[in-house]
Structure 1
Amino acid sequence: MTMPRPGSAFLLAQIGAHAAARFADRIGELGVVPSDVGLLRMIATRPGRSQQSLSEEMGVVPSRVVALIDSLERKGLVERRRNPSDRRHYELHLTEAGSHVMTEMRRLGMAHENDICAALDDKQRVQLKELLEAIAAQQGLTPGVHPGYR
């Protein structure tokens, strides 16, 4: 009796778990974890954004974002600045160290992408990305936000 071949959902989960573990290993040298990287990217793309806006975009309770930002602040990667128009709120900005981590992340991210997708040619990589984007959209996932924050 032959075992049935795994389905697409299993393969997505298998490759996703493998890719996530490899990514965590790669970025460990920078002193960050994958959840740090996602937040740093979100702050880097919109400097001065509020913790509330992060909470809304990520779909998590504000207290979760506060704890995540506290961790980044302790690592010296993010700073909270008082909002000049509303002193009750803070704006989030990358520090110089945070900007350096993001620069290194781009390099490591490209190496990771090339490693994980090494079996595919350029056309196949584009096709795979488009297929995965279609699945993510159909499943209602927020583009660029990992559901692991929840």
Structure 2
Amino acid sequence: MLFGSSTPPEPMGQLTGFLLNWVGARSREAFAAAIEELGLRPQQFAAMTMIDADPGMAQQELVAATNIDPSTMVAMLDGLEAAGLAERRPHASDRRKHALHLTEAGTETLRAARRAAAGMRDEVFGRLEPEEFAELHRLLRKTAGYVD
């Protein structure tokens, strides 16, 4: 069980921001543990997800999309490349840039990580009925600024 207790203290349960942070922390911990078995960290998952969504994106675009520090991004991409999960190719329109792509192994690892993430959903959100989870997801997207 995460955090030693399945419920925060009642006085804190009255504070929406605290509850959002508490559930977020539980979710981050469970997610990190689920993908760690695949040799991934959450930032790597985020980068691989963005590269998968936009193959050939430039490194600076990836930095902007993930808000990962540029120097951290270089080291992370070096690690993904060394692990055979991603590769840098010459950019089609700018020879100063590299186009980022997942390898076949990277695509399969990302699929496995997504399955692991879906599997940990019950650990964090298992108290919700499927309709409630869908509504929570919709409300979080709305709060984050998505227009659905």
- Report the TM-score when normalising by structure 2: 0.81
TM superposition shift of 1:102: 1.1
Q: 1:4 aligns with which of 6, 11, 33?
A: 11
Spell out the pairing of 1:1-150 with structure 2 (5 A cutoff): 4-6=11-13, 7-60=15-68, 62-137=70-145
Which moves more between the two structures, 63-72 or 119-128? 63-72
Specify every segment of 5 or more residues in structure 1 that has no aligned partner in the other structure, as ranges.
Answer: 144-150
Specify every segment of 5 or more residues in structure 2 that has no aligned partner in the other structure, as ranges.
Answer: 1-9
Q: Percent sequence identity over matched residues?
A: 36
TM superposition shift of 1:5: 4.2
* Cα deviation digits, residues 102-149 of structure 1 (max 9, x gap): 110221121122332211112211211122122222xxxx89xxxxxx
TM superposition shift of 1:62: 3.5
Paired amino acid for 1:108: A
How big is the alpha-carbon RMSD for the aligned residues of Structure 1 and Structure 2?
Answer: 2.1
Residues in 2 aligned to 1:12 and 1:56: alpha-carbon distance in whole angstroms? 25
| Distance of aligned partners of 1:16 and 1:61 in 2 relative to their CA distance in 1, 3 Å threshold | closer
